[in-house]
Amino acid sequence: MNIIIIGAGNVGFTSAEVLAEGHNVLVVENDRTKADSVKDLLNVSVLYEDGTNPKILESVIDEHKTELVVATLPEDGLNLFACMICKKYKPSIRTVATVKNQDFIIDTSEENGMGVDMIISPEVIISNKMFKLAILENAVDYESTHFLDLAIATFKIVDGHDIVGKAGMNLDIPETCNIVCIYRGEEVITNVETTVILPDDRISIIGNEEGIELFNRMMGAGRVNEEFVIMGANAVGLNIQRLWIPWTGRPI
């Protein structure tokens, strides 16, 4: 696939690094230092230009035979603008915009016709994960897939817990979640039905958010996390605050 990445900041650089493994990638960046860094470190093409300039975008879309555009500039509005320009020039192109501010997450359905196929917010993803790990006292990892309304959480089993010594088939887990696997050291055990749970095992659970929360309660809480301090008022910190208020009914 021929891909254009607009912006070579942290997200743009990482995206280029990953996508370059199997695709033809062109990075457009108007900061000379960033552009040179990408050129020196990654196996991608680099264009030292303004990725929000409509004429530049039209030119590179044609020359690169672009199929996908990923906009990763620091300003959310510019990412949406760049995607819309690309879509207007070549309607068949796929466009992805990254945003920091949740207010810029707009309707991307075909009916809306905004010119952006997908919006991704790394800051929202990170803050959601941090919030869930804070309120799920027993979880050591958490990932969500909002488009499927599913989440995956990993819980560590402490010595003396009621489920130690029980096989997976004998666990009374909530109906809205299932055990995916058991991590035992470096070993990944998928035959969970007959595997006996041992101390320090990590159980990976998949289900909707309610199911994950019910499993957390089933595990029992040695402590209840009710008071939080957010260090920093960046995009991640502000989004954690937004999540906190409806969950507790009071400001953080």
Average pLDDT, the chain: 86
Between 118 and 103, name the one with better pLDDT: 118
Rg, the chain, Cα only: 22
**Packed helices 32-41 and 10-19: angle between N→C axes, nearest 10 degrees:** 30
Domain ranges, ordered by start, for the chain:
2-120, 122-127+224-252, 138-222
* Across 122-151, average pLDDT: 79
Beta bridge partners of 71: 6, 97
Q: Are 52 and 60 in contact (CB under 8 A)?
A: no
DSSP 183-238: EETTEEE--TTTPBP-TT-EEEEEE-HHHHHHHHHHH--SS----------SHHHH
CATH of region 138-222:
3.30.70.1450
> For residue 46, which of 28, 70, 31 has the smallest C-alpha distance?
28
Phi–psi pair at 142, nearest 5 degrees: -155, 130
* Identity of the amino acid at 252: I
What's the pLDDT score for residue 113?
59
* Across 55-64, average pLDDT: 94
What's the pLDDT score for residue 97?
94
pLDDT over 80 (residue 53): yes
Predicted TM-score (pTM) of this structure: 0.68
What's the pLDDT score for residue 213?
85
pLDDT over 90 (residue 25): yes
pLDDT over 90 (residue 71): yes
Residue 173 structure tokens = 């887990």
Between 229 and 37, name the one with better pLDDT: 37
User: Looking at domain 2-120, what is its CATH homologous superfamily?
Assistant: NAD(P)-binding Rossmann-like Domain (3.40.50.720)
* Across 157-181, average pLDDT: 88
Cα first-last separation, the chain? 45
Q: 213-248 in b/e burial notation, b at 16+ Cβ within 10 A?
A: bbbbebbeeeeeeeeeeeeeeebbebbbbebbeeee
The model's confidence at residue 248, banded by pLDDT at 50, 70 and 90, is low
Least confident of 6-15, 33-42, 136-145: 136-145
pLDDT over 80 (residue 135): no
Cα 249 to Cα 252: distance, rounded to the nearest angstrom: 10
* Across 15-26, average pLDDT: 94
* Across 33-39, average pLDDT: 94
pLDDT digits (tens, 9 = 90+) for 183-215: 999 999 999 999 999 999 999 999 988 888 888
What's the pLDDT score for residue 233?
67
Q: 153-165 in b/e burial notation, b at 16+ Cβ within 10 A?
A: bbbbbeeebebee
Torsion angle (degrees, nearest 10) of CA 32, 34, 40, 43: -120
